[in-house]
Amino acid sequence: MIKSLNSKIFRSSYNQFAIGTPTFARSLSSTPIFRTISKMANIHTPIPSLKLNDGNSIPMLSYGTGTAWYKQGDESKIDRTLVDSIKTAISLGYYHLDGAEVYKTEQELGMAIQESGVERSKLYVVTKVMTNVKDIEGAIQTSLKKLQTDHVDLYDFVPILS
């Protein structure tokens, strides 16, 4: 059971959970209490992986950069708080990292991966593209450049709901 003080647990798209509200999560991440909680959360409990039929494995919990971190406006402005948040997640064992071009956070995800010091082969990186994109090959190349990697482990096509 997940308990939290003075906050709500909300469910974002893709069945990810976050504590608080997007505004609360963004403002909390830069506070001393967040850093203290992050240290306390480092209990060295490995995140289980799901083994696939082809022999590959996917960590069952991911750290997502949507919902609370979604950027509205200038995508080129780097959100250092997000980069640091992703690096903290990686240091806590969240090796399944979830992004999407529509979140406008791929640059921060790429920077965090580079700065984390964790080998790329240990990470499971996901990004997504909306199905209305006409040039899928161009979209993945753009994402790879922003993510500063030569591949992603899962490239998801997200349908547009009307």
Is 20 part of any domain?
yes
Residue 1 included in any domain: no
| Number of compact structural domains in the chain | 1
Of 63, 94, 95, 103, the catalytic one is: 103
14 is catalytic: no
Give the residue numbers spanning the domain of 63: 9-158
| Per-position pLDDT tens, the chain of length 162 | 333 333 333 333 333 334 333 444 444 455 555 555 555 555 567 889 999 999 989 999 999 998 778 777 788 899 999 999 999 999 989 999 999 988 999 999 999 999 999 999 999 999 999 877 788 899 999 999 999 999 999 999 887 776
Considering the domain boundaries, does residue 88 fall inside one? yes
What's the token pair of residue 134?
């006409």
Domain with residue 13: its CATH number is 3.20.20.100
d(CA 25, CA 43): 21
Q: Give the side-chain half-sphere CA count within 13 A for 98.
A: 20
Examine residue 117 and state whether it is found in any structural domain, yes or no: yes
- Asked, for residue 2, whether it belongs to a domain, the answer is no
49-51/96-98 β-pairing: unpaired
Say if 61 falls within a structural domain.
yes
To the nearest 5 percent, what fractions of the chain are helix, strand and coil? Answer: 40, 20, 45
